[in-house]
Amino acid sequence: MPANESEIIRQCRAGDTSGFDLLVEEHYTRVYNTALRVLGNPDSAADATQAAFVRAFRSLDSFRGDSTFSTWLYRITVNVCLDELRNRSQEPISLTFVGDDDEDPQERSIPDERAEPSACVARNERQRLVQQAIGQLAAEYRVVLVLYDINGFSYKDTAQILGIPVGTVKSRLNRARSALKEVLRPHLELFELE
């Protein structure tokens, strides 16, 4: 937490809300990436990110400081994402999009120009398969996997964000990894190190 984050929160509570923009700027990328990995759709992730920040702003008076601001914010983000998942039909998540001019669907990725083309293709395929596999996990497993393995939160922080015991985090993470392994089993040749 930046040294001035506590001061910004205090000022927002006192009625000077201009500092909240700084909090949004500080946390936007990680909140959006968390929502994207949980929801699997850029538009839904953008909506969830906005909803999380609006909810955080409206609830700022309830932030007690028992945890870091970021932990509190990610808990709100996860709750917004879980609400979205509950409201969706059970259709598979796609990480493709159609361009503005109704082109063919394209994968969302940023190519690594430094790698050989064949390595780029293999890496992109692995990423696509992993993202697709994560999208097939139950929401409770997907969220734990995204927070711990992808975002790098500790067991304790993940438990705090989700409001569950550390043991439950470990159990869900183990189940998520096992389920992911099973989904990816037919594609193991892409994941073997050369």
Q: Per residue in 76-110, pLDDT tens?
A: 999 998 888 888 754 554 555 555 555 555 555 54
- Structurally, the chain folds into a number of domains equal to 2
Tell me: do 76 and 23 sit in the same domain. Answer: yes
Q: What does the pLDDT read at residue 101? A: 54
Given 87, 115, 145, which residue is the final one in a domain? Answer: 87
80, 152: one domain = no
The pLDDT assigned to 46 comes to: 93
95 occurs within a structural domain: no
Give the pLDDT score at 108.
Answer: 52
Element (H, E) at 71: helix 69-87
Q: What H or E segment, with its residue span, contains residue 106?
A: strand 106-107
Domain CATH number, residue 117: 1.10.10.10
Give me the phi and psi of 108, to 5 degrees please.
-90, 110
Say which amino acid occupies 44.
Answer: S
Domain co-membership, 121 together with 75: no
Q: Is the pLDDT of residue 61 over 80?
A: yes
116 and 65 both lie in a single domain: no
Model pTM score: 0.66
Whose tokens are 């996997």? That residue is 145
Strand partners, 107: 96
- Mean pLDDT over all residues of the chain? 80
**CATH number assigned to the domain comprising residue 42:** 1.10.1740.10
Q: Report, in angstroms and rounded to the nearest whole number, the Rg of the chain calculated over CA atoms.
A: 18
pLDDT tens digits, one per residue of 115-150: 566 666 667 777 788 888 888 888 899 999 999 988
Position 114 pLDDT exceeds 60: no
Indicate whether 66 and 132 sit together in one domain: no
> How far from 10 is each of 21, 26, 82, 159, CA to CA, in Å?
14, 17, 29, 26
Q: Are 40 and 118 within one domain?
A: no
Q: Is the pLDDT of residue 174 over 70?
A: yes
Residue 82 shares a structural domain with residue 14: yes
- Residue 178 confidence class, pLDDT cut points 50, 70, 90: very high
DSSP code of residue 107: E
Which residue range forms the structural domain that includes residue 81? 5-87
- The CA–CA distances, whole Å, from 5 to 22, 57, 64, 70, 184 equal 9, 14, 14, 10, 41
The pLDDT assigned to 55 comes to 93
Residue 33 lies in a domain: yes
Nearest alpha-carbon partner for 125 in 32, 188, 62, 46: 188
Question: pLDDT by residue (tens digit) across 157-170?
Answer: 999 989 999 999 99
